[in-house]
Amino acid sequence: MSVDVGTVRRIASLARVKVEDAQAEALVGELNNILSWVEQLGELDTEGVPPMTSVVEMELPLRADAVTDGGVAEDIVKNAPDPSGRFFTVPKVVE
């Protein structure tokens, strides 16, 4: 598996990462190196081996359905660049 410069631009755009043209060329090489390194894993026979989801032997913890949080609207919007009252605001997005 390898990527070309078009794919790199597309991935960057989907991730909202600004990539200049010169950088894109360099990233093609870097990403392909990473991909080919990871592809070495394909040499292992994993037939019938379930994917490992955790390095520790544990189950997904579940919590009780209780309201234990919230009521901190001031704090929630405190770091927002341009809050209005207790709303976040962003440049208008309309469909």
Partner 1 sequence: MSLLQGTTGEWEMVIGLEVHAQVISNSKLFSGASTTFGAAPNSQVSIVDAAMPGMLPVLNRECVAQAIRTGLGLKAKINLVSVFERKNYFYPDLPQGYQISQYQHPIVGEGSILLDLDNGETREVGIERLHLEQDAGKSLHDQHPRKTFVDLNRSGVALMEIVSKPDMRSAEEVGAYLRKLRSILRYLGTCDGNMDEGSMRCDVNLSLRRPGGPLGTRTETKNVNSIRFVQQAIEAEARRQMEILEDGGSIEQETRLFDSRRGETRSMRSKEEAHDYRYFPDPDLLPLELEPAWVEDLKAALPELPDDKKARFMADFGLSAYDAGVLVAERANADFYEEVAKGRDAKLAANWVITNFFGALNASGKGLEEAPVTAAQLGGLLDLLADDTISGRIAKDVFEEMWESGKDAAVIVEEKGLKQITDTGAIEAAIAKVIADNPGQVEQYTSGANPKVIGWFVGQVMKATQGKANPGMVNQLLKKHLGG
Binding site for partner 1 (CB under 8 A): 10, 13-14, 16, 53-54, 58-73, 75-77, 82, 84-95
Nearer to partner 1, 47 or 95 (CB): 95
CA 29 to CA 32: how far, in whole Å?
5
Cα–Cα separations (whole angstroms), residue 51 to 47, 56, 61: 10, 14, 20
Nearer to partner 1, 13 or 36 (CB): 13
Residue showing tokens 């660049």: 81
> Cβ of residue 83: shortest distance to partner 1, in angstroms?
9
